[in-house]
Amino acid sequence: MTANEIREAFKSFFREQGHLIVPSAPMVVKDDPTLMFTNAGMNQFKDVILGNAEPKSRRQSDSQKCLRVSGKHNDLEEVGHDTYHHTMFEMLGNWSFGDYFKKEAITYAYEFLVGRLGIDPRNLYVTVFEGYAADGLARDDEAAGYWEQYFPQEHIINGNRHDNFWEMGDTGPCGPCSEIHIDIRPDEEKAKVSGASLVNKDHPQIIEIWNLVFMQYERRADGSLVPLPNKVIDTGMGFERLCAVMQGKRSNYDTDVFQPSMRKIG
């Protein structure tokens, strides 16, 4: 599949699930002093998430152009050291504003990756939030239970606050999340070492491709968490990473997202 076909397949799938497809927001953030640049798909929906505005639709989907230069989880220090962190990247996302929540988000993710794209589920691993006592948060057993319908226990991994509790910044909407990782190593390497032991260990061929954020809270300036007016689903899938997977490449730069420009420059 070409990059354009992959992007359109994503939009088409979520259109079929009743989502309104919306355009990418500007990369320079408007009317928000907490961010200089758009760093996530949720930026344009911040007022909706906080209950200050009504959404155009309770279900929306988009492909958002982002810059990895602002926000709490920007991973800027990773750019230039691997083949899958980019300063500018594209994020495929689906959204629910007070409509569906964890069960449906997990179901849609599995159906799209495995059912629509044909990815082998044996190469997929998922993480769930292990809890954080200081915030009074327990393990996300609910999400784990839904994943158990699709994966064996050894493919469901507990993740810590850094990896599995998503926050836009020091304040604002946040919540636990489930990451989907894919193992693209050769079969002989998979036979020697389980992919589960390498998830979130910076292995260049076991990478996160999709993050399902179950946005339930607002982080206040004093560090406290208060429930949002409505529970929100906020997912983000790395478009360039998905293209590498679908095109059988070991590097995002070898896909047709980058190669035409690189050949012309060369």
Q: pLDDT tens for residues 74-111?
A: 677 778 788 888 888 999 999 999 999 999 999 999 99
Tally of structural domains, the chain: 1
Mean pLDDT of the chain: 92
Residue 42 lies in a domain: yes
In a domain, 29, yes or no: no
Amino acid in position 35: L
- Residue 244's pLDDT band (boundaries 50, 70, 90)? very high
Q: Are 153 and 128 in contact (CB under 8 A)?
A: no
**pLDDT digits 0-9 by tens, 7-34:** 999 999 999 999 999 999 999 988 888 7
Residue 32 lies in a domain: no
Instruction: Let me know if residue 120 belongs to a domain.
Output: yes
* pLDDT at residue 72 is higher than 60: no
Residue 122's CATH number? 3.30.930.10
Domain assignment of residue 79, yes or no: yes
Expressed as residue numbers, the domain containing 226 is 3-22+37-265
pLDDT score, position 71? 57
Alpha carbon distance 266, 249 (integer Å): 20
The position carrying tokens 């061929």 is 205
Split at pLDDT 50, 70, 90, the class of 50 is confident
Residue 102: count of CB within 10 angstroms of its CB: 20
In a domain, 27, yes or no: no
Residue 230 placed within a domain:
yes
Half-sphere exposure of 147 (CA within 13 A, CB side): 25
The model carries a pTM of: 0.91
Q: Residue 108 falls within a domain, yes or no?
A: yes
